[in-house]
A and B are shown apart, each in its own frame.
Chain A
Amino acid sequence: MAPLSGAMAFALVSSAVASEFGRPATPAEISLWDIDVRPDGKGLPQGSGTVAKGKEVFADNCAACHGDNGVGGIKDRLAGGQGTLASAMPVKTVGSFWPYATTLFDYIHRAMPYQAPGSLSVDDTYAVAAYILSLNGILPPEGKLDDHSLPEIRMPNRDGFIPEPEFSRSRK
């Protein structure tokens, strides 16, 4: 976010018209903040990671809150629960509830680990996502993820959501 010279002056002119508020955003600075990822993979950065590597990264950065193997920690359970959603005790996890694998990358990348969000490299983020998917039986232990394979994953609860009709008309 390098400041652009002279940009601030625009905001303070007394005769400002609509077109004079703010300043143009440069592509370089947009890329610093443009972290969101869509289900079709748009927004995913290039990179890759293995389940094996993810197991190491998880032990170092995630297990303290989420428990070994993503179960039993003080924070959200990440694995198991498939088949429980219609029961009296539903267990909502990445494997049982999340409809898109892309969301897993997006969330880890933007918000985890809790004390230092954004501190994992892109490759380590793919690796942790791969490990969590493997804990849920969605990737094999020797599995690997990258920006092409992640959006191809079909999550078990992909069809478990009913969009609210009132807000569906603006969906494509």
Chain B
Amino acid sequence: MPERNGSEVAWNRRQFLAAASTGIVGGTVAGRASAETLADVPTREPGADLGALSARSKYVQIGRIPEAGPRRRNVDPADAINSKAPLQKLVGAITPSDLHYERSHSGAADLDPSKHRLLVHGMVRKQVVFSVEDLKAMPATSRIAFLECTGNGWENWKKADGNLTVQNTHGLVSTSEWTGVPLKFILGLVEKETAATWMLAEGGDAAGVARSIPLTQEIVDEAIVAYGQNGEPIRPAHGFPIRLILPGMEGNLNIKWLRRLKFGDQPWMTRWETARYTQLLANGKARQFQLRMETNSVITQPSGTMQIRPGYNRISGLAWSGHGKIARVDISTDGAKSWQEAQLNLPALPKAQTRFQMDWIWDGKPTKIVSRSIDDKGNVQPDRDSFIATMGTNALFHYNAQQTWSIDQAGRVENVLS
């Protein structure tokens, strides 16, 4: 499914029908077919020298998009506040670390791990300073979990720009395997007082980003002070040398460059949990400490600015929920009038992105495609109309309405509201 203006393959209808009749539809339709016979395939030859790092193929063009805010894209990196993951070019459920979305409030801190320290204090019996080596020496856990900026989807609150890709609309979510120390182990070391019901987590970045975190049983059980991402030390953009990971909770809570945990009996009301990351409702009131990311999904293939052909198409996308596992994803190819169950690529892990797919024969008539996810707690991703009826259009954060892509007669795919 090339993006528009890209090269297009001549569709061989006879091949498609042959495949369909033998029931093997489901493979990837080839991209640009420049080797028409096997004789045109280049001969084998010795490859590149082995090196310390393996680069991506020169044939793969893939990268994030820095932006300065809603509708302010492709800006000078110095003005960017985030950089979005290329969801339309990812094929599994794990995000490569260098393509994981990035959001920072004062740039990516450059921290020397030998000098970095984590201070744990407040309502604990032992106030302790940990080095990074201390943390790496502790019992470790690994977990695959998604991270999502609470601003993800912000392009579509009030209106839809038909020129947007899925990277523009949904590129502030990614999934990694995170490795580190269970917060619970640290709580045991410092002997947290039972009256301490809140934890302030603070970063060592210039902004000193700080959030108050309610110590629910779920958060205490699942939080990780992480130093590893996808098998390697966390990269600076994502919090090196250590960051907090709170599976399922809004991205900003997962404090990067973590340097302080303080325990108390009430929230601190930092700028990030009052002036930012509170959800303004139509009546002028704002929801606060709305920390959990809701059930969400988006079709990534085909998606905005791509072009499809009549006949066989494979619809594929990503679904995730801060409540738990994705249990089911439905796809509509007729503008949400009827729904079919998509296939989930297993394993579908709790609070991790899950890839879904479905075969589809497009009859060439204009239509709309939509996905709808349902998690194992029974939460159903809302349609846009009911979502906006509840939230209004000023909320700015936690947009999880169903994403609709329209397809015109020429097969052009465009972002629309519903």
Contacts and interface: CB of A to CB of B under 8 A. Distances in A.
Interface of A: 1, 7-8, 10-12, 16, 18-19, 21-25, 29-30, 33-39, 85-86, 88, 90, 92, 94, 97-100, 102-103, 106-107, 110-111, 114, 117, 160-164, 166-172
B288 A162 contact: yes
Q: What 9 A-B pairs are tightest by C-beta distance, nearest first?
A: A86-B284, A85-B284, A170-B197, A110-B208, A107-B271, A22-B128, A22-B130, A25-B127, A111-B207
24 contacts: A1-B117, A18-B189, A22-B130, A25-B121, A33-B259, A36-B202, A36-B210, A86-B282, A86-B283, A90-B284, A92-B275, A98-B274, A98-B275, A99-B274, A100-B269, A106-B268, A107-B271, A111-B105, A111-B271, A161-B285, A170-B198, A170-B215, A171-B267, A172-B266
Interface string B88-114: 000000000000000001100000000
A22 B117 CA distance: 10
A167 B106 contact: no
A8 to B, nearest CB: 7
B164 interface: no
B53 interface: no
Given A90-B280, A111-B207, 10 more contacts: A21-B134, A25-B119, A33-B260, A38-B268, A85-B284, A92-B280, A102-B269, A106-B270, A111-B106, A164-B289
A102 B216 CA distance: 26
Contacts of A33: 119, 259-260
A39 B134 contact: no
Given A18-B188, A86-B282, A117-B106, A103 B275 contact: yes
A1 to B, nearest CB: 7
Contacts of B269: 38-39, 99-100, 102-103
B281 to A, nearest CB: 8
Interface string B207-230: 110100011100000000000000
Contact of B128 (A23, A35, A170, A172): A23
A110 B105 CA distance: 12
Nearest to A8: B131
A30 B289 contact: no
Contact of A164 (B119, B283, B287): B287
Contacts of B210: 36, 110
B142 interface: no
Q: Main secondary structure on chain A at its contact with chain B?
A: loop
Contact of B189 (A12, A19, A25, A100): A19
Interface in B263-310: 264-271, 274-275, 278, 280-292
Contacts of A19: 189
B378 to A, nearest CB: 16
A36 B202 CA distance: 9
A37 B207 contact: no
A11 B134 contact: yes
A10 B130 CA distance: 10
Given A36-B270, A86-B282, A99-B274, A111 B128 contact: no
Contacts of B281: 162
Given A85-B280, A162-B288, A24 B275 contact: no
Listed residue (A24, A33, A90) with the most chain B CB atoms within 10 angstroms of its CB: A33
A111 B206 contact: yes
A16 B117 CA distance: 19
Given A36-B202, A164-B289, A24 B127 contact: yes
Interface in B174-205: 185, 188-189, 197-198, 200, 202
Given A33-B119, A36-B270, A160 B130 contact: no
B24 interface: no
Contact of A160 (B119, B267, B286, B291): B286
Given A11-B131, A24-B127, A161 B274 contact: yes
Nearest to A115: B206
Contacts of B208: 35, 110-111, 117
Contact of A29 (B126, B129, B189, B274): B129
Contacts of B361: none
A129 to B, nearest CB: 12
A10 B197 CA distance: 30
